Amino acid sequence: MVLGASGNLGSEVLSRLADQDVRIRCLVRRPIALPPGAELVIGSLTEPAQLRAALNGVDRIFLIWPLLDSTAAARALEEIALTTARVVYLSSTAIDDALPRQSDPIAQVHADLEALLSRFRLKAVVLRSDTLASNARGWRSQLRISDLVAGPRAAATAVVDERDVAAAAVAILLSDGDSSQPNTPYLLTGPEILSRADQLAQLGSVLDRKLRFQLLDAESARAQLLADGRPQQLVEALIEAATNRPDSTLLTDDLSQLTGRAARTFRAWALDHAAEFS
């Protein structure tokens, strides 16, 4: 079962599983287009009865938690724990295991989910992903009218292509036995640390445009993010992350271990998605 199949990453997981000889079920809140043979179930991860029905016969789950708080997660994972399913959970490299509380709500909800997976003793493999390249799609509305993207500070990270993260998830879902590292999540990063300005420079090079990033203060950034169409709760979490999350120096080869190939660069992602910004 793929949870989050309508999103940037979940859809990539779904398309890769569709190329394999496996049965696929997707639990979604509203109808979406699916590959031939995939089963669509309308329901919610946060409604125990709907989740219980969707879990019937499922032995492997790709899990993305869709909310910015973990209040309903215990009940959902309790339902999953009643099955024998292996779980691949998408978490975040923003988690700092040394902190009792994380830097922002986005990192905190991932830490909460990891703790719950352990509490319910689920057969889980945790993939801590760095910033997804597909987040750049959030700039499209601004880039349609100018060469400037204005927003809050964002920590520099090793931006990772969502297609690589999907490939790693599918490799684990389709593997035999336990693919997890002992007591350790996989840390999935791209090949280079990039700031938001670095990403825009690379995207601009692909588009033959001189793209620039303008740093906004918190109030101005809040207004811009809302104007870009992001939900209020997500906007507040992004502002808190901008204020508190430090730059990253993390670079790993966990992706190549799982997929057998080097991680794609952000420039490669930009080349493959350039038409989306025209």
Domains and CATH numbers, the chain: 2-130+161-187+253-261 (3.40.50.720)
What is the pTM for the complete model shown? Answer: 0.95
Task: Point out which residues pair with 160 in neighbouring strands.
Answer: 132
Q: Is the per-residue pLDDT at 86 higher than 70? A: yes
Kindly report the CA angle at 170 between 137 and 126, in degrees rounded to 5? 85
Q: Is the per-residue pLDDT at 147 higher than 70? A: yes
The stretch 88-108 carries a mean pLDDT of 96
> Which range (132-136, 183-187, 191-195, 227-231) has the least confidence?
183-187
Instruction: Give SS3 for 120.
Output: coil
pLDDT score, position 108? 97
Q: Is the per-residue pLDDT at 84 higher than 90? A: no
> Which range (12-21, 122-131, 180-189) has the least confidence?
180-189
> What DSSP state is assigned to residue 60?
E
pLDDT score, position 177? 67
Q: Is the per-residue pLDDT at 178 higher than 80? A: no
The stretch 155-175 carries a mean pLDDT of 97
Token representation of residue 56: 């019937």
> What DSSP state is assigned to residue 107?
H
pLDDT score, position 179? 53
Q: Is the per-residue pLDDT at 139 higher than 90? A: yes
- Alpha-helix runs per DSSP H in 217-265: 218-227, 232-244, 254-259
Residue-level length of the chain? 278
The stretch 7-22 carries a mean pLDDT of 95
Q: Is the per-residue pLDDT at 180 higher than 90? A: no
State the distance between the two ends of the chain, measured CA to CA, in whole angstroms. Answer: 35
pLDDT score, position 158? 98
What is the C-alpha radius of gyration for the chain, rounded to an integer number of angstroms? 19
Sheet with 123-129: list strands edge to edge. 39-42, 25-28, 2-3, 60-63, 86-92, 123-129, 186-188
Residue type for 159, please? V
Alpha-carbon span 129 to 127, nearest angstrom: 6
pLDDT score, position 150? 94
- pLDDT more than 70, % of the chain: 97
